[in-house]
A and B are shown apart, each in its own frame.
Chain A
Amino acid sequence: MKKCMFVLLILSSILTGCWDKRELNELGIMLAIGIDKVEDEYRVTAQVVVPSEVSTKTSTGRSPVILYQENGGTVYEALQKITKESPREMYTGHLRMLVLGEDLAEEGIAKSIELLSRYWEIRSDFYVAIAKDMTAEELLNVRTTIENLPANEMFNTLKTPEATSTSTNGFTLDELIANLTSDGKEAVLTGILVKGELEMGSNKQNVESITPAAQIKYDDLAVFKKDKLVGWLTERDSRGYKAILNNVHNSVTAISCPKGGKATLEIIQSDSKIKGKINKGKPEVDVNIKVKGNVEEVECQINLNDQETIVELEKNTEKQLEKTINLTIETAQKQYKSDIFGFGEAIHRSNPKEWKKIKEQWDEEFSEMTANVKVDVKLVHTGTEGNSFLKKIEVK
């Protein structure tokens, strides 16, 4: 009996997991998926790693990724058809990017992402972006230089804090779905596009020259209403959006000096609070933003050693940020009538009873509502120097 058990134990350690085994060398690792709408069908483009090209030893200079493309009535159907072209089973657990074509976005994105939230293998930690002025297929067809794998380049570009600091912002699938399903908040997505000559993108020359003919670049944010793309925010509005949503760490803002000229400020910390309330039966929000920043560049004649100057700079920054934010809110209210900031959610949180009354006509209420924006800026230091050398040579 004991011997028998011993043999069984040894066998079980060698023979475990045979049913669902999937060897790495039998899998095609899918890094990016693009979805477009072609007539009535979905066109799914999958960017799959060519393993031999990723390792430095066996690399022969061929493309590190391959694009598969199929049409289908549903997304899964199209995805499944790819197996007919690929010798390997598709593995989606390492998905990095989901790119949706602009045409699809205008028709509505909800149906096309349902699979991705339901399918067991897919984790929701990848970014979703909208291909601006092009199809997702065209976008995924561009080779990149620094990161061998285009999907990784897209993912990392969005992830680095510096990139999120400008006018773009990454959204994962979870965040997108949360925004889509929320009553008092509309979705926003990152725009992505190809700079330069699109046709050159997939060529090998694209990664061989110092200045690639086609480069992938993130652009401003796309505004949604329900699940339909209604327009794009400008760079200024994207900044305003990020300031309200508390995502402006490490971002850089140019401000005007008291006596003309410009200075640049780096925001190191920001803390925004949205508070909803009902004032005389009308919805209202208070947006309070506390910002900490450093002076990083001075291109004007000011005396930085003077406390007064610092206070004045702080005031200027506050004014400028408030202006940007107010203009952004106005764009969302008047142009798109889409509550991308979650003001409705804020009112729901503070006053659930009143929210029930205004919920149905929230779009109209939102476009009429008042938002009291207050920015409080504190400057911490002025970089490695006090007064600028510009002061010495008196450059105007």
Chain B
Amino acid sequence: MMQDVKINSYQFLVLVILFTIGTSILTVPSALATDAKQDAWIATIIGTGIGLLVIWLFITIANWFPHLTYVQIIEKLFGRWIGKALSAFFVFISLLYASELLYYFGIFLNIHMLPNTPMVVLNILMAGIVVMGVRLGLETFARTAEILVVVFFVFFFILVVCISPEIKFENIQPVYEMGTKKILQSSIFYVIVSSVNAVVLLMIFPSCVNKMKQGKKTFLIGNLIGGIVIIVITFLCLTVLGVEKTAGEIYPSYELTKKINIGNFIQRIEGLMASLWIITLFFKTTLYFYVSVLGMAQILNLKDYRPLTLPLGMITVVLSLVIYPNIIYQKHFDETTGNSLTLSIGLFLPLLLVFVYAIRKRTE
């Protein structure tokens, strides 16, 4: 097993930040504005709060087994056969999400930038780097993340500064019109997308992070920083574009960057700004893919996960092409089936783990 791989807590922090921002930066503003209207930004704040609770649950579990990965924990607690079945389910879903993110990447470029390029080409290009990154190992792409997170935050800062003159506070008034129920409901979606999914990080968190104590803190802080980025993006979308436009657009953040115009000089930089989510999408995909490859290797008791990367990479690309017939289906899938899948591996399974762990401890 590749258990000698260790990343430090800063690298882990960076990975958590990029994972949390991941796809949320593109999809959350419009999904939340559809239901919570001008109060979507409040929903993201509440969602970040609830998300931290979920992360706390993950940390608790990780704390009990500081040297095992999630797949190994499941196997240890549920026994060999049930454990393997549950792990296989977990691995399958993270592979599914890896291909879903490839689809996100391909369809975004297809809609906004390269309409004539077939999606298969775009997905192969992205999957190529993802597979390469995973083959080179966790340490390598954690270091890459260390560099690219700087790029991300520089662009993010430029975006915030350049767009701030366009903010109109009238767009988010009246505040709290939709009431607690609607806001809570829509914040749940956000929690699922950016925090519950973070269960896959349990594959690297306790076992591959060199300092357990700091690791715990960075898991929470990383999630919080990612959450703040999403809060800011949602707030900007609402105040600059208005509720109707934010809810109507498929990728409101991209529309936001189109609005940047400083003195007719700094303008039309949306292509550059798109690297914001290309970076986060890449790392989220890589993490999903790494987790599924590593998980599968551990289920099958392989010595090394690398032989699995190429075949699984091909499967991911093909899956990403057939997974959704169209983008409306994708939206619908994310809001229904996707949510249930995520909840089952990210919330119910951990809770079940806690339950079984408690019983086992008592019987011992």
Cβ proximity bits A112-129 to B, threshold 8 Å, 1 near / 0 not? 000000001001110000
Judging by beta carbons under 8 Å apart, are B111 and A178 in contact?
no
**Residues of chain A from 293 to 349 with CB closer than 8 A to chain B in the complex:** 345, 348-349
Judging by beta carbons under 8 Å apart, are B121 and A19 in contact?
yes
Whether A20 sits at the interface, judged by CB under 8 Å, is: yes
Judging by beta carbons under 8 Å apart, are A120 and B112 in contact?
yes
Judging by beta carbons under 8 Å apart, are A20 and B170 in contact?
no
Whether A174 sits at the interface, judged by CB under 8 Å, is: yes
Whether A86 sits at the interface, judged by CB under 8 Å, is: no
Closest chain A residue to B173, Cβ basis: A349
Judging by beta carbons under 8 Å apart, are A19 and B114 in contact?
yes
Judging by beta carbons under 8 Å apart, are A350 and B115 in contact?
no
Residue of A178, A345, A351 contacting most chain B CB atoms (<10 Å): A178
- Given the known interface contacts A20-B117, A178-B244, the answer about A124 and B258 at a Cβ–Cβ threshold of 8 Å is yes
Judging by beta carbons under 8 Å apart, are A20 and B174 in contact?
no
Q: Smallest Cβ distance from B156 to chain A, in angstroms?
A: 22
Judging by beta carbons under 8 Å apart, are B174 and A350 in contact?
yes
- Given the known interface contacts A19-B117, A20-B114, A20-B116, the answer about A349 and B174 at a Cβ–Cβ threshold of 8 Å is yes
Q: How far is the CA of A177 from the CA of B241 in the complex (A)?
A: 11
Q: Among the listed B117, B177, B244, which residue makes an inter-chain contact with A352, where contact means beta carbons less than 8 Å apart?
A: B177
Whether A59 sits at the interface, judged by CB under 8 Å, is: no
Whether B261 sits at the interface, judged by CB under 8 Å, is: yes
Whether A182 sits at the interface, judged by CB under 8 Å, is: yes
Q: Smallest Cβ distance from A146 to chain B, in angstroms?
A: 18
Whether A372 sits at the interface, judged by CB under 8 Å, is: no
Cβ proximity bits B69-109 to A, threshold 8 Å, 1 near / 0 not? 00000000000000000000000000000000000000000
Size band of the interface chain A makes with B: 10 to 19
Whether A52 sits at the interface, judged by CB under 8 Å, is: no
Q: How many B residues have CB within 8 A of the partner chain?
A: 20
Q: Among the listed A19, A125, A178, A181, which residue makes an inter-chain contact with B261, where contact means beta carbons less than 8 Å apart?
A: A125
Judging by beta carbons under 8 Å apart, are B261 and A177 in contact?
no
Whether B242 sits at the interface, judged by CB under 8 Å, is: yes
Whether B245 sits at the interface, judged by CB under 8 Å, is: yes
**Residues of chain B from 168 to 204 with CB closer than 8 A to chain A in the complex:** 170, 173-174, 177
Contacts of B174 in A (CB 8 A): 348-352
Q: Among the listed A174, A349, A350, which residue makes an inter-chain contact with B245, where contact means beta carbons less than 8 Å apart?
A: A174
Closest chain A residue to B168, Cβ basis: A178
Q: Smallest Cβ distance from B100 to chain A, in angstroms?
A: 22
Q: Among the listed B170, B244, B261, which residue makes an inter-chain contact with A349, where contact means beta carbons less than 8 Å apart?
A: B170
Q: How far is the CA of A390 from the CA of B174 in the complex (A)?
A: 54
Q: How far is the CA of A130 from the CA of B133 in the complex (A)?
A: 55
Judging by beta carbons under 8 Å apart, are B173 and A178 in contact?
no
Closest chain B residue to A124, Cβ basis: B258
Judging by beta carbons under 8 Å apart, are B245 and A20 in contact?
no
Judging by beta carbons under 8 Å apart, are A345 and B111 in contact?
no
Judging by beta carbons under 8 Å apart, are B244 and A345 in contact?
no
Q: How far is the CA of A287 from the CA of B113 in the complex (A)?
A: 44
Contacts of A124 in B (CB 8 A): 258
Contacts of B117 in A (CB 8 A): 19-20
Q: Among the listed A20, A125, A182, A350, which residue makes an inter-chain contact with B244, where contact means beta carbons less than 8 Å apart?
A: A182
Q: List 30 A-B contacts (CB under 8 A).
A: A19-B117, A19-B118, A20-B113, A20-B114, A20-B115, A20-B116, A120-B112, A120-B113, A120-B115, A123-B258, A123-B268, A124-B258, A125-B258, A174-B241, A174-B245, A177-B244, A177-B245, A178-B242, A178-B244, A178-B245, A181-B244, A182-B244, A345-B170, A348-B174, A349-B170, A349-B173, A349-B174, A350-B174, A351-B174, A352-B177
- Given A120-B113, A182-B244, 12 more contacts at CB 8 Å? A19-B121, A124-B258, A125-B261, A174-B245, A177-B245, A178-B242, A181-B244, A345-B170, A349-B170, A349-B174, A350-B174, A351-B174
Please provide the 5 A-B residue pairs with the shortest distance between their CB atoms, ordered closest to farther: A19-B117, A349-B173, A20-B114, A352-B174, A181-B244
